[in-house]
Amino acid sequence: MGIKIIIFIFTFSILSAQPEKEYQVLISKASLYHLQKNPDRAIPLYEKAFQIQEPDALNAYKAAGVYALKDNHIKAFYFLKLALSKGWTEAQKLSEDPYFKLLKIHNSQKWKQLQDQAFTKESQFITSLTLPDLREEINHLANVEQNLRYKRAQANADSENIKKVDNQIRITDSMNYQKAKEIIQKYGWPKKTEIGNDGQNNLWLIIQHADHDVLFQKKVLKEMEKIKGTNELNLENYAFLYDRVRINLNYKQLYGT
């Protein structure tokens, strides 16, 4: 009888894990298309993933972004409100995010109400963190970097400004890389309770661009693994970085990100 129970529990655990794995694969692929500003590829993946599992704050925010790029204000506002209700706290990013340019123009009053709500929530959230100043610094570094990359994506191939933007990106990436090394050396991989989900996501984003230093990326993975299995780590970030390191070392991806 005991053996049957063990087999049942083991089988149930495997079956339960399958939808979670499928969700993570879909989200990882959708997130990549989100970064590439490709809503036509991202939206179907998000929709399929959300049939399996309701999104967390970050993925609701990303989904809002790709819907906004398609000027689908109904879906964009729906997912933005969901993101706030799930704990989205990066109000400054929201206010500056170029993904929502059309949303601001075509729905200015509704946008202002949502933005005010976001800043109120962030003010309350900051008081719960143990390293709020570090979070603010990381978020600022990442926002500057992402705004430059968005500017680069919008530039014409023959634009005179494109070389200038590329140079700005190289300088910014180099500075952010050095700062990320200092942070990891001092804190390890900062926990959610220290810098929040957004702080973790933005630090991960900076480290993703440090492909020239795979040893550093591997060190970050080891630091992440120290808190893997707890609520202090965003597993999507871990999966992305893990696959990126494997690619940089000429191995196959594990998570298919």
* pLDDT at 9 (0 to 100): 39
Whole-angstrom Cα distance, residue 205 to residue 147? Answer: 13
Whole-angstrom Cα distance, residue 58 to residue 94? Answer: 12
Q: What is the pLDDT of residues 135-164, one digit of tens each?
A: 999 999 998 998 888 788 777 766 777 888
* pLDDT at 17 (0 to 100): 52
With left for phi above 0 and alpha for psi between -120 and 50, is residue 119 left, alpha or beta? alpha
* pLDDT at 191 (0 to 100): 97
* pLDDT at 254 (0 to 100): 78
* pLDDT at 158 (0 to 100): 65
Whole-angstrom Cα distance, residue 62 to residue 189? Answer: 23
Helices (H) and strands (E) in the chain, counts: 12, 0
Q: Which domains does the chain have, with CATH numbers?
A: 1-128 (1.25.40.10), 131-257 (no CATH)
Whole-angstrom Cα distance, residue 34 to residue 116? Answer: 25
In tens digits, what is the pLDDT along the chain, a chain of 257 residues? 455 544 443 343 333 457 778 898 899 899 889 888 899 999 999 999 999 999 999 899 999 999 999 999 999 999 999 999 998 888 988 998 989 999 999 999 999 999 999 999 999 999 999 999 999 999 999 989 988 887 887 777 667 778 888 899 999 999 999 999 999 999 999 999 999 988 999 999 999 999 999 999 999 999 999 999 999 999 889 998 999 999 888 888 777 66
Q: What is the 3-state secondary structure (H, E, C) of 15-35?
A: HHHHHHHHHHHHHHHHHHHHH
